[in-house]
Structure 1
Amino acid sequence: MWTLQNAKNKFSTVVDAALAGMPQEVTRRGKPAVVILSASEYHQLLSEARQSRGSFVEHLLTFPANDIERSQVKPRTVDF
């Protein structure tokens, strides 16, 4: 784990470690901020996420519409 200042000072070391297959975590003000990883690992994660995720239409079709009780509110009368 790197502080932001140390990561800036040793950026090439951080990049070399990420390229060697060891993602590098960087903190800002003591809180986790970013993870630096190789481009190939990043693209692999994206590809896996896209494969495991269905389409938006599939998501809508799996919505449990019959399990929701709908209120039987009637519209009010409006005079103009």
Structure 2
Amino acid sequence: MSSSEPYLSIVRGDATPEETAALVAALAARAAARSAAGAATRGARPTPPPATGNWRNAAHRLRPGLPHGPGAWRRAFFPGG
């Protein structure tokens, strides 16, 4: 994009100069709010992703492994005993 090309162009409709100015002001305000929010969170620790239940985890649906070693068959069928 060269410096002679417009940064913003209205593709459809007839926008008045006031409407174009309002659009540019809204976009500038949004960009300023985003950069301010980014600067505020840049120094803070990142927040962890929201916790999800185990219903998504495929390993949750698998049964636990069977015990190994002497007496393993007994522990497999009589846990805790």
TM superposition score category, shorter chain reference: 0.3 to 0.5
**Higher normalized contact order (CA 8 Å, seq sep 6+, divided by chain length):** 1
Name whichever structure is richer in strand by fraction: 1
- TM-score, normalised to structure 1's length? 0.33
The higher radius of gyration belongs to 2
